[in-house]
Amino acid sequence: MVKENTTRKARKTVKLSSPFKAALMLAVCIFFFAFAAQAQTVRANIPFAFVAGDRMLPAGQYTINLDSRSGLVQIQPGEDLPLFLSARNCQFGVSEDRGSLVFHKYGESYFLRRVKTSATREGYEFIPTRGEKDAARKSGTFEVAMVTTYDK
């Protein structure tokens, strides 16, 4: 009969000291508050279906969160899952009291191009997708549609 060698390794548990826990919690809180301070939220009622990124979205009520540090824009269509898009900073010519969403319309298709928050000239611009480039090539011209946003 062969005897199996069974050895158990002792597990070490690391207990965090109270000052360390407090410092860790403080660091986490500071991180989340810093992120929240950089994020801006606007809402819009978009009266037409449109393309954002590679996703077709229906007309309706939208919440848009903008994170100036990461350049991420979160588009929340009502109760559906949010869409996250990468955007680059851009400057609008005029500072208005209200924010706006700018769409390029090729034929019957609308493409989200820019998002601007209220009371600032700064905004975010989306890089044209392959779908938008194809629509632009087929159409040859485009119209600009603007939807005004409102704060929470």
Q: pLDDT by residue (tens digit) across 52-82?
A: 999 999 999 999 998 888 889 999 988 888 9
Task: Judge whether 72 lies within some domain.
Answer: yes
This prediction has a pTM of: 0.70
Q: Please, what is the Cα angle at 41 between 38 and 42, to 5 degrees?
A: 145
Residue 96 DSSP code = -
Task: Judge whether 24 lies within some domain.
Answer: no
Res 131 pLDDT > 60: yes
Task: Judge whether 14 lies within some domain.
Answer: no
Task: Judge whether 21 lies within some domain.
Answer: no
Q: How far apart are CA 112 and CA 115, in angstroms?
A: 8
Predicted local confidence at residue 19, as pLDDT: 66
Predicted local confidence at residue 133, as pLDDT: 94
Task: Judge whether 22 lies within some domain.
Answer: no
Task: Judge whether 18 lies within some domain.
Answer: no
Q: How far apart are CA 12 and CA 142, in angstroms?
A: 66
Q: What 3-state DSSP class applies to 134?
A: helix
Average pLDDT over residues 132-148: 91
Contact 90, 127 (CB under 8 A): no
Kindly state the tokens that stand for 65: 């969160």
Task: Judge whether 6 lies within some domain.
Answer: no
Domain that holds residue 45: 39-151
Predicted local confidence at residue 108, as pLDDT: 93
Predicted local confidence at residue 69, as pLDDT: 82
Predicted local confidence at residue 71, as pLDDT: 84
pLDDT band at 46 (very low <50, low <70, confident <90, very high): very high
How many domains does the chain contain in total? 1
Task: Judge whether 129 lies within some domain.
Answer: yes
Res 94 pLDDT > 80: no
Residue type at position 117:
T
Question: Of residues 119 and 77, which shows the higher confidence score?
Answer: 77
Question: Which residues neighbour 101 within 8 Å (Cβ) at sequence distance 6 or greater?
Answer: 44, 46, 64, 112, 114, 115, 116, 146, 147, 149
Res 130 pLDDT > 50: yes
